[in-house]
Every structure is written in structure tokens, then in C-alpha cells.
Structure 1
Amino acid sequence: MNIPVSTVLDVADDGTLLINTNIDGTSQLWEVRNDDQRVQLTDLSSAATGSYLPGTRQVVVSSDTDGNERHQLYLLDPLSAELPVRSLPPLVDDPAHIYHLMSLDAEALIYSTNRRNEVDFDLIRRSHRDGTETVLWDGGGSFAEVSASPDGKYLVSNAMSLQPASNTLRLLDLEAGSWRRITDENAPGHYGAVHWLADSSGFLTSQDASTDFASISYYRVVDQSWHLFLAEEGVNVSLSLNDSGKRALIQRLRDGQTTLSVGDLTVSNGFPELGTETAVKLPTEGYGRGVLSADGSQLAVTFSAPTFPDEAFSAPLGVELAASPLGLQQRTFAEGRALAAGLSVTEVVRIPTRDGEQIPAFVTRGDNSAVINIHGGPESASLYQWSPRNAALILSGHTVVVPNVRGSSGYGRRWMSLDDVELRLDSVQDLVDIHRWLVESGVDGGRVALYGGSYGGYMVLAGMTFYPEYWAAGVDIVGMSSLVTFMENTSPYRRAYREREYGSLEHHRQVLEDASPLPRIENLAKPLMVIHGANDPRVPLSEAEQVAAAVRANGSECEMLIYQDEGHGLSRRKNQLDAYPRAAAFLRRTLG
């Protein structure tokens, strides 16, 4: 836990990196300057993130209070402020509501906020010059991304739809003041960030509406038409452009591992064309994600692997891209890396299921005890990257399995849809298939534990109540113990979002009840540890309190750890260093 991780947020045109690092205990903003001097920008009471104003070193900062997720926005000039700043005046003084940065250019920023009715998020454009605000959208819903065309005529919003793991795109003509839908909001499909071409004739975005794995499509404004631009079988392809839309960074994701390349875009006969790609050399197999500077002259990359904690890298690109692979310069160096480098190799495997499917998983072999660590989401994925909690379990001697059970992203829309609503318990049964595979691999079937956070915490509780005979212990971190009470008590804006995946209280109450651990808690007889943040706006603390009380009422062991200055998960190292070593010790004891 004491090995710091560094994540690239942005890179300025002069090569200065804006990073997050938790070197001092919470994730704060730092700069890595061209002389490799590291300068701390923020020392706020909670974690901070941010982006550069294009073409400048001014930073738009976002931070909440003690994990409550009511993020506020601030403006910081690192060249004039006394660093690190411990407080900043907010751009909008309203801590009771949420403010998310959606888009940023030299003239203005666009944010979304739920201040109108607590549930729906409106889009507001705020001028940097005088702070004047214009409402761009107040028609309901919630937004993931917003992108403005270079000529200032159009705005594309990426908003959640009512389909599971899906969203819809709308195009705003700023001159006419009119919106139009440009995707079918009743059809399943997830669209990624929108990146405009230099001439504003159209944009590129990743999508899985027309392909099973994510591909890149082009939308042309003049005739409102969609065209497939880049697709590869069994690979998730995504793309980002610099501010002028002339240089592209391409990420290919397969089995939780990535490759990166850069290439230049031209427009011919109204369609974009990608020139020869230059590969980016990553340190080893792992997960890398990058960002281009506004002018396209700089590339910055965060890289991580199971034995390689997250570090920042960069490379100048020049006017013309070289044909040979692009080398990266490492810009951050965490103390304690030797411990990570000495861990056992993590394998990429496929685990067969009772119905002919295969569960993708990462496995690190240890003794004949095992811990299955299930990710949250559920429309998320475990990646081939560093995890200090997994490292602790490996160093404890356990075999560690990190699966992407059905419902996970990264393996095609079909796989991601196999746990929706009435299919919820099919993903729980995947855990039984993993247990069977472990026993066949030499693990003692009586020494297998479940471990997970958020939806992964729900999976721990569901596994231990629906299939109790398979598990020796469980660690539930900010998990849901009842899908009914979770829906009733979560934040209103979260309920509207989560009903797409789990089902609604109005139409699917019995489905939610039937998939909930709490009504069958008498089955949970093995030791349980519960970890939760008191300020969690997603999974309320009451979910932890009710399951702990029920387990104890049955006479079973339950250790509960509550942290008053945390939200959905533990972001402060002091709390991590209290909770996670205790979880590791709990598993060592209960697994023998």
C-alpha cells in the first residue's frame, strides 16, 4: 500500500505532465516538469483530479469532500499560486450539489450539474473571461462526455440511455439552438468519447452498437451518416485526437492488455483517413493508456502491470512521425518497486463453465488455498495491471484468481449482456465454475474465499448465500446486501442509472428480491469481513449495517470496519493501511 502510483491526467504543449499521485496518502495533483522536477500542486482534504486549459498550464481542478462525490470545480494557476494549495475558491459555490467537468477549450468550460432537481444533470457553459453561464440542456438524464467542434458550431453530448450498459449521442447546433438524436436510444450500444476532425465535418467515436467488440465509427454531419472506420475481430479499439483533430492515439485492448500507436489523420472526399501507425513501445505486457497534448507534439502514457505499479511516461512526437517504434521516457519512479517486481507471474486463462461459456481470468499461482477477487461494475473489467491488494494476497501465499465473470466489459457486448436483470444469478454461478476449476487445478475446495468491492461485494454475499457450501470466508467491501434496499436508499441520480442494469423497483421488484443475499442470510455461516465508507453515496452504509447485524444474529462471525471520512471505497492510505492488512490477516486465519 505504501508503493505510490502515478497516473497521467494531461500533458502540456511544452511536455509538462499533470499527474495524480498518492505519494503523501491521498491522490493529489502534481506536475512533472521538463527538468524532471516534481512539484505538488494540491494538498486538498480529499482526492483531486484535473485537466489543463488547452494551450496553457492553468488547471481546472475537481474534488469532493470525504468521498461524498459532490465534486466541485476550481481553477488553479501553478505559475502564480503558492504551492501546494490547500484550498481554492470554487467556480460555483454550491457544495450541496454535483459539478462534473464535461468539456474544456480556450474560451469556456462545460459542466453538468444536478442542482435543478437532484436527479437530472443539466449542461452549463461557463465563460472563462467573465463567468457568464448559458444553459445548453435541461431536458433530463445524465451525461458521460461532451465534445465541442473546433469551429464552435456543434456540441455532441454522450448521455445514458435506458438500455443496460448503453448511452446515446445528441448533436447540438449552437447557432440554431436545436438538439437532435444521432443514435437510437432504444437500441443497445455504448459510445465512447467523441473526437472531432480538424475541419469540423464530423467526428470519430468508439462504439459497440454495430460490432460485438468496440470499434471506431465516423459520423459525418452534412448527411447525418455513420461509417465504420476501424474494427478488429476480438479486440476493443478506441481512439483519441489532439485538439486540432489531426493526430490520433489508438489503443487496442485484448484480455486486459493493451497496445498503443500514434498516427496522423487526413480528410479526403469528406472522410477521414489514418496514415501509417507508429507503435509505442511499452515496458512489458500490461495496461497502458495515453493522452496527447493540445498541439499534438507530446504523448504521455500511464503504464501498469501485475508486477509494475502505475508510472508516468512521455515522448515528444515531432511534426512528422517516425516509422520505427516510439520509445518512452519514464518520468516517475516509485520507491518499493522491487517488492512488486519480485511477485509471481500472472497468467491469462479461460475457465470453462457449466453452459459452454469461458470465463476470462488472471491467475497467480500460490499454495492450495485460493482467493477469488471479483471486480465492481458490473459493466466493468479487471485488467492486467497492478493491484496492491492482489499483491498482498499473493504474498500471503494464496492462489489468486481475478475473473471477468459474465456481465464484464472488455470481452464483447454479448458477454457483457449475459447478467442483465433476470440473468443476474448466472454471474454468481460463474463463481461455482471457478471453484470447480480450482479444485481440478489442485486447490483444496475447502480453502477458497471470495473477495470483492461494490458489485464485487454483492457477488461475495450472493456467493456465500446462494452457494454457501463452496466458500470458507468472504470479504465484502462497499457491497450491496439487498438489491431492493440498495435501490430504495441509493442517491436518486444513481437509482436512475442502476435500474438499467439491475431492473426497476416498479417493474422488477421480485427479480431484485430473488437475486438479493439478505433474504437468505441464514445460509451464510462462514466468517465474513465487511468494509464500508460512512459517506458512500452509491451503496449506502445501511447495506453493510444490515448484513452485519443479520449475520451476527445467526451466530456467525462478522467483523465490520467503518471509515467516517470515506465514500465508495477507501481513498486514504491511512484507512487502506488499517483495513486491507486486516483483511489479509483475516483470510490467512480463515483459510489456514
Structure 2
Amino acid sequence: MPSGTPTLADDVRTLLNLPLSTALDVADDGTVLFGTNTDGTSQLWESFPDGSQQQLTDFASAATGRYLPGSRKLIVSSDLDGNEHHQLYLLDPDLEQLPVTGLAPLIDDPAHIYQLVALDAHSLVYSTNRRNDVDFDLIRRDADTGAETVLWSGGGLFRQASASPDGRFLVANELSLQPASTVLRLLDVVAGQWAEITAADRPGGYGDSYWTADSSGFFASHDAETDFASLGFFRVADRSWHRIVEEPGVNVSLALDGTGRRALISRLADGKTTLSVCDVGTQTGLPVLGPESPVLFAEEGYARGMLSADGGRLALTFSAPTFPDEVFSADLPDAVGVAPIRPVQRTAAPGREIAARLPRARTVRIPARDGEQIPVFVTDGDASAVLSIHGGPESASLYQWLPRNASMVLAGHTVVVPNVRGSSGYGRRWISMDDVELRLESVKDLVDIHAWLVAEGIDGSRVALYGGSYGGYMVLAGMTFHPEYWAAGVDIVGMSSLVTFMENTSAYRRAYREREYGSLAGHRQVLEDASPLPRIKNLAKPLMVIHGANDPRVPLSEAEQVVAAVRANGSECELLVYPDEGHGLSRRKNQLDAYPRAIEFLRRTLG
């Protein structure tokens, strides 16, 4: 090879070095708050309307944040080395020497978790497990005085909350004990009373809630009554739900501006999104969505965004399998619903041309053994293949940029990104098809994908499994329950035993993991029967295991016990442990160490 010619390892490092940028908020003047990992961990930056940029934070660990409405002050959230004990900070860019390397936390309590769930111009609402380490309470804190009010101390784990514009009500979104479900609680601030406005014993997942301008009710997408998520409206006066938008095979959601009069509508189907903007009116006591202006992009992909408080600006993140995550924005006209919206790109990673040269992924439905259809994204390569399996399991692979998958494509493999049964985004029926006793049905989907690959011309002896978190469990399960199909596996922060995982995961997570996998008290044998570790003698092919030492979700012990067992069998097993990481690798230096080694491992084992 001529001197200076890039090697595969060089190109993989180039891909992994591409910074990813994510829109977090947008001010009324068009300033965009975004996160980017340009310097190795994701930190906060601002992009101003004139195109200039400014770094706000340079914390030791990743940071995220949101503006206080109507202000340049922002609430910053960060943990320590992936331990997920997030602390909250107030940053005023006009008073600090930027970028800040540290701030005094609003509450100095690193032993517990503080998660921002709602924010307005005068106060923030956060959830914290400081009372007993397990249950999360809701606390409102005055942004100026620091005075705290306990809103809820009845236990649970909260996703989001939203206050009505008139200050009378607060709706909170809490995980329920039904699989892939949440429950909504409504607080009457004046009366000081909470009401459960959705049934905790009924399956149904509710998205973020947004109040209309007149405080008469709020929008929330949900699948409690439809297979795919429809857009509903809850009217406070008579405690009634009304379906506003339902589209077969499409998950519809909405985000409002701070006035409650303008909406950003998102439609998700097959891992791809389309966005549009419309105005919100009222008719016969219910909200009415006006004509929509589509948000246009040059290609299909996945986008998520937000509106400024006054509804005049749009900021969003766009990503596709050959387009690394970048921030876009648009100035919105006074009247939407007439012309398309063409956002302007606000960030651009240097060297991203290598991503554009990769082959495009195609969407395929693979027939399963029982007549079901498994949705997958396939990027064609040589006669070897890697199945890249998402975590969750109540999650999904989207039609977006994933540098690890791109690296495997660059290495020449055919890369298959499946949404096996149990994945979200394909209807409540599909997400429920791996619950508790059905756990191994999702593992059998991998075998069906293998059969399809062989029929497509792939060498069946050159197929590997690759996955993180629940995807790591799927790697180990595939290689122990169906070992004859797989040539190698890469397990990243995966569970090797569902029993020991449940016993050792963080206490505040256990109940919500049991709703999906089964409980230690009631389903111990089910958990044992679905665990790879008792069948580890079946795992005779090369295995690589990658884990963070501070993982609060899947403890390091899950990796250590499977590595010890595989090595005791005399099989090849490499373990990479990173002391400054938690559930996955967030630091560029660790990614650049682990992932190129994983690519070389796959090239060697698959030929």
C-alpha cells in the first residue's frame, strides 16, 4: 500500500471522529442552543442568527440543557462518568467566563438523581429520589429564590410534566407497571389535589403533554386506544379525551410553542419522520389544527425539533444513515399552512464527506416463522453480514446515523438493523409480542433473519451479532440458544443473566424492568429460562464484551460473569472495560479505542 494511503482503521476513526450535533432549544431571537461532542463529550453551545457560535460548557462529563423561557439563562444537567446521578445547574452566559468547566449545583446532592421535567419563566419542576433512593418525588423550585414546594411524594418514576399557562394545573407523565405504558396525573394547584386521569392498570403509552393557550386542556399522543400512537386532547372541564388525529400505520405526535397557538407535528413511520407546522384554533370547545406547512429535507431520515416560545422560530436535528446528526433552523412566517418550510443548516461536521459516500440503507420486511413481518434496514455489502440490534427492548432502530453501523458498512459487511418483535414504533401489538414468557420469541426473529440472508446470497457461516444493552442480551441469547447460526458476537453493556440483572440493577429501575421481563418474585423461572448464562457452554464462537465500570443499569458484574464462563469453556473472549463510562461509551477517546477494535474483530472472525 502506498505511503499515506488511508487504511480501513483510518477511515473507521474518521467516521467515529465526526462530531454529532443535537438541537436542544431555540430562543425567540433565533439563537439555537445545541449539544455537540466536538471535543470528545457532548457539551452545550449556542448558534447565533448571524452564524457565529459560542461554547457554553466544558464539563468533565456530557451536559445538556434548556433555556428559561424569555431568558438567555439556562438549566444545565450533567452526571459524573456515566453514573446517571444527574445534577442541575443554573448558567447565566452573561455573568460567566465561557466555557464554564463547572458550576455550583442548584442542590448539592451528588448521591441522588435530579431530573428536570418541566420549566417556565419563573420556576422549574424536577424529579428526585433523594427521599429513599428508590421513589421519585416531584419538586417545584422558584428560579429566583430557590424556595421548594413538594408537589408529589407518592412514589414512581416520572418522564415529563407540563403546567397550564394560567398556572392552575400541572399534568405529570409517570411510568406505570404495565409494559411500555405510562399514567397521567393531573394536579389542581389551587385545590392541592391530584387526580389519576388515565388508568394505571390499562396498557397505553403517553407522550409529552402540551397545553393550549386558554388552559382548557392539553395535547398528548398515545396508543391506549389505537395500535399506532394517535394525537389526543384532554379537556379539563369534563375530564374527557378526544381524538384529534389518527393515521393508520403512523405514530403522530405534536409539540406546541410557549403560547399554545402554534404546533410542530411529527409523523413517524418505519423509523422515518416527516415534520410540519400549523396553527391551532378552537371550535366547539375543542382545538382545531389548521393547514400544515411541510418541513422539507433533501432526503429521507429522522428529525426531531422544537418551536421557540413565541412560535416564530423552529430548531431541529436531522439525521439519516449517510447523514450524521446536524442542527437546522428556520424563521417561520406569520401565517403557516401556505408554503413549505426549508430549514437552514446551522452546524456542519468537518470530514462528513466520507459518510455521504456510503451505500444507502433500504427498508425490508422479512417473513418470520409465524407469518409476522420483521421490519429491518439493510445496507448491502459482501457475503458476510452483521445484525446490529438496538437496546430497550421498548425502543427501536430508526432511519438515522449510527457511527458503529456506518463503520461496519465501511468495513464491507452487509449490515442488517432489525426491529424485532418487542420494538417500539410499529404499533402496540408489536411492542407487546416479547413480554415476559414471550422473551425468546424476539431471539427467534434473529434466526428468521439469518434464513432470509442466506436466501439473499449471504454466506450463512459468516454472520455475526452486535448489540448494546438489551441488544447485548440479544447477542448472548442468540449465541447460546441458537449457536449454530452465528460466527461471532459483540456484546456492549448487555445482560448475561436476567436474574442477576434484576437483582443488581439500580433499585429505582427494578420495578420498571420487571414489568417487561417479569418479576423476581413471580417469574424467576421464566427469567432463568430466558437467560444466556446457564447455557454458556453452547457459546463456542469468538465473543467481544465492552462495558462501562459505572453502569447503573446493567452492572459490570453482568460482563464479568459471562466472560469468566466463556473463558472457562476454552472459548475466545475479549473484555474491554472503561473506568469513566456508564451505560455505553459517551467519550470519544473510549469510542476510538473500543469500536475500531470491534471492527477488526468482526473482519477477522467473519473473514
Alignment match, 1:66: 81
Amino acid aligned to 2:517: Y
Output aligned runs, 1:18-417, within 5 Å: 18-321=33-336, 323-417=338-432
Give deviations 1:467-499, integer Å, cap 9, x for gaps.
000000000000000000000000001112101
Alignment match, 2:545: 530
Q: Which residues of structure 1 form unaligned runs of 5+? A: none
**Cα distance in structure 2, aligned partners of 1:426 and 1:504:** 19
Contact 1:153 1:175 in 2 (8 A): yes
Alignment match, 1:498: 513
Distance 1:437 1:350, change over 3 A: same
Amino acid aligned to 1:76: L
**Cα distance in structure 2, aligned partners of 1:144 and 1:573:** 28
**Cα distance in structure 2, aligned partners of 1:115 and 1:236:** 36
Alignment match, 1:576: 591
**Cα distance in structure 2, aligned partners of 1:320 and 1:396:** 49
Give deviations 1:351-383, integer Å, cap 9, x for gaps.
100000010000000000000000000010000
Kindly tell me the number of residue pairs found equivalent between the two proteins: 592
Secondary structure of the 1:131 match is: coil
- Aligned: 1:427 with 2:439: no
Secondary structure of the 1:8 match is: strand
Q: Percent identity at matched positions?
A: 72
Amino acid aligned to 1:413: R
Deviation at 1:168, TM superposition (A): 0.3
Q: Which residues of structure 2 form unaligned runs of 5+? A: 1-15
**Cα distance in structure 2, aligned partners of 1:282 and 1:203:** 29
Secondary structure of the 2:185 match is: strand
Deviation at 1:322, TM superposition (A): 5.4
Amino acid aligned to 1:291: M
Deviation at 1:79, TM superposition (A): 2.2
**Cα distance in structure 2, aligned partners of 1:220 and 1:108:** 25
Amino acid aligned to 1:136: L
- Aligned: 1:455 with 2:475: no
Give deviations 1:419-448, integer Å, cap 9, x for gaps.
000000000000000000000000000000
**Cα distance in structure 2, aligned partners of 1:180 and 1:585:** 56
Give deviations 1:137-165, integer Å, cap 9, x for gaps.
00011101111000000000100111000
Contact 1:282 1:288 in 2 (8 A): no
Contact 2:292 2:337 in 1 (8 A): no
Give deviations 1:401-434, integer Å, cap 9, x for gaps.
0000000000000000000000000000000000
Secondary structure of the 2:17 match is: coil
Amino acid aligned to 1:119: V
Deviation at 1:282, TM superposition (A): 1.6
Contact 2:505 2:552 in 1 (8 A): yes
Deviation at 1:35, TM superposition (A): 1.4
Q: 2:576 aligns with which of 561, 570, 574?
A: 561
**Cα distance in structure 1, aligned partners of 2:466 and 2:337:** 46
Secondary structure of the 1:112 match is: strand
Q: Where in structure 1 do 4 or more consecutive aligned residues deviate above 3 Å? A: none
Alignment match, 2:7: none
- Aligned: 1:476 with 2:488: no
**Cα distance in structure 2, aligned partners of 1:387 and 1:109:** 33
Amino acid aligned to 2:19: P
Contact 1:249 1:263 in 2 (8 A): yes
CA RMSD of superposed structures (Å) = 0.6
Amino acid aligned to 1:339: I
Contact 1:171 1:182 in 2 (8 A): yes
Secondary structure of the 2:408 match is: helix
**Cα distance in structure 1, aligned partners of 2:528 and 2:178:** 21
Alignment match, 2:17: 2
**Cα distance in structure 2, aligned partners of 1:105 and 1:552:** 54
- Aligned: 1:517 with 2:532: yes
**Cα distance in structure 2, aligned partners of 1:129 and 1:567:** 33
**Cα distance in structure 1, aligned partners of 2:502 and 2:427:** 27
**Cα distance in structure 1, aligned partners of 2:321 and 2:157:** 34
**Cα distance in structure 1, aligned partners of 2:373 and 2:281:** 41
TM-score, normalization by structure 1? 1.00
Amino acid aligned to 1:192: G
**Cα distance in structure 2, aligned partners of 1:225 and 1:282:** 37
**Cα distance in structure 1, aligned partners of 2:483 and 2:465:** 11
Amino acid aligned to 2:169: Y
Secondary structure of the 1:152 match is: coil
Amino acid aligned to 2:450: H
Give deviations 1:12-52, integer Å, cap 9, x for gaps.
00000000100010000000111111111000000000000
Give deviations 1:68-116, integer Å, cap 9, x for gaps.
0000000101122110000000000000000000100011000000000
Give deviations 1:519-544, integer Å, cap 9, x for gaps.
00000000000000000000000000
**Cα distance in structure 2, aligned partners of 1:277 and 1:392:** 38
Amino acid aligned to 1:296: G
Secondary structure of the 2:523 match is: helix
Contact 1:315 1:329 in 2 (8 A): yes
Amino acid aligned to 1:459: M
Alignment match, 1:590: 605
**Cα distance in structure 2, aligned partners of 1:466 and 1:336:** 42
**Cα distance in structure 2, aligned partners of 1:246 and 1:62:** 29
TM-score, normalization by structure 2? 0.97
Contact 2:278 2:337 in 1 (8 A): no
Deviation at 1:283, TM superposition (A): 2.5
Amino acid aligned to 1:569: G
**Cα distance in structure 1, aligned partners of 2:261 and 2:99:** 35
Amino acid aligned to 1:445: G
**Cα distance in structure 1, aligned partners of 2:285 and 2:216:** 7
